[in-house]
Amino acid sequence: MTIYAIGDIQGCYADLQNLLSKINFSATNDTLWFAGDLVNRGPNSLETLRFIKSLGNSAITVLGNHDLHALAVRAGIKKDKKGSLSSLLSAPDADELFDWLRNQPLIHYDVTSNFTLVHAGIPAEWDLKSALNYGDELHKVLSDDSYVDFLEHMYGDIPNLWSEQLLSWDRLRYICNAFTRMRFCYDNGQLNFSEKNSPEYVTNNSNEALIPWFELENRKTQSDKIIFGHWSNLGLRIEQNIFALDTGCLWGKQLTALKIDNKLEYYQVNCPKNSH
């Protein structure tokens, strides 16, 4: 069985199907890993979610920030300002789809391949075992009938520095933001949520001493192979156990699949600009 990890789709269903045709995907013989942000902004969130859900055990996905935002819109906490979720929100199977979505994990580890899948990253202070535990902590909250309570407290950038002493909503908000929103950190591990450009751009144009989360010297997961998306301006990056797969499909660039095998290979399709 072959595993293909795929970057952010964000409702770009036609591009996903083009990519699956290119890799000759077989639901019987292959497994797809999705790095989150299945929905929102693109034109076909409903079709995308229905398709991935229909794959059953042939698909594994982790939650991204846009997936969580869609849950908050469904719960009435946020508005679908640009309307890209309208068909999903009004679908006859919306309840079933959103229940499936909120029951997806924040992190996935495959013991056979020794790869880990997250949407945005893993804080430097966490080793892999801790990351799995914290992901499970939030997953249980989202899977519970009272999950809307968390969604009401989910938004915000504080706390932006990890402490085991964090409690309640602050603790869960940090865990959520770390897994689904982070890109850059300061050298003490504090998260920066405002900068979205590439590391090269920031080096040349910013006065702030920002470091990509995966380049922090004291990161405890340096020896772990981590696949992530979220950072379209970073683009495809495969180096030193880091596999960045958000290649900007939504923005008219590419959608990428990484074949996880003895010999790693990646496949791409070009995407028309789908952004709202």
User: CA 39, 253, 56, 263 torsion: positive or negative?
Assistant: negative
The 3-class secondary structure across 13-26, one letter per residue, is HHHHHHHHHHCCCC
* Stretch 246-259: mean pLDDT: 97
Predicted local confidence at residue 133, as pLDDT: 99
- Distance (Å, whole) CA 231 – CA 247: 8
8 A C-beta contact, residue 36 and residue 229? yes
pLDDT class of 168 with cuts at 50, 70, 90? very high
Given a cut of 80, whether residue 184 has pLDDT beyond it is: yes
Model confidence pLDDT, tens digit, residues 106-127 = 999 999 999 999 999 999 999 9
CA 45, CA 186: separation in Å to the nearest integer?
35
Alpha carbons 45 and 54: distance in angstroms, whole number: 14
At 276 the pLDDT is 46
What are 79's two structure tokens? 């508005």
230 near 8, Cβ under 8 Å?
yes
Tell me how crowded residue 219 is: count the other CB atoms within 10 A of its CB.
22
Residue 163 has pLDDT above 50, yes or no: yes
Integer Cα distance of 134 and 34 in angstroms? 20
- Beta strands 115-118 and 225-228: pairing type? parallel
Cβ proximity of 89 and 80 under 8 Å = yes
- Residue 274: what pLDDT? 64
- Show the tokens assigned to 130: 């801790």
Average pLDDT score over the chain: 96
Tokens 């340096």, located at residue = 222
pLDDT tens digit sequence for 236-248: 999 989 999 999 9
Residue type, 202: V
Pairwise CA distance, residues 79 & 167, whole Å:
28
* pLDDT at residue 207 is higher than 80: no
For residues 82 and 50, which has the higher predicted lDDT (pLDDT)?
Answer: 50
Q: pLDDT, tens digit, for every residue of 89-101?
A: 999 999 999 999 9
Whose tokens are 């003895």? That residue is 262
pLDDT in tens, 30-62: 999 999 999 999 999 999 999 999 999 999 999
**Closest by alpha carbon to 89, among 40, 24, 38, 138?**
40
Average pLDDT over residues 77-91: 94
- For the chain, give the percent of residues with pLDDT over 90: 93
- Which residue is it, tokens 């969604």? 151
| Bigger pLDDT: 97 vs 203 | 97
DSSP 129: H
pLDDT confidence bin for 232, thresholds 50/70/90: very high
Task: Give percent helix, percent strand, percent coil of the chain, each to the nearest 5.
Answer: 35, 20, 50
pLDDT band at 263 (very low <50, low <70, confident <90, very high): confident
Q: Where are the domains of the chain?
A: 2-270
Whether residue 195 contacts residue 224, with contact meaning beta carbons closer than 8 Å, is answered with no
Hey, what CATH class is 2-270 in? alpha beta
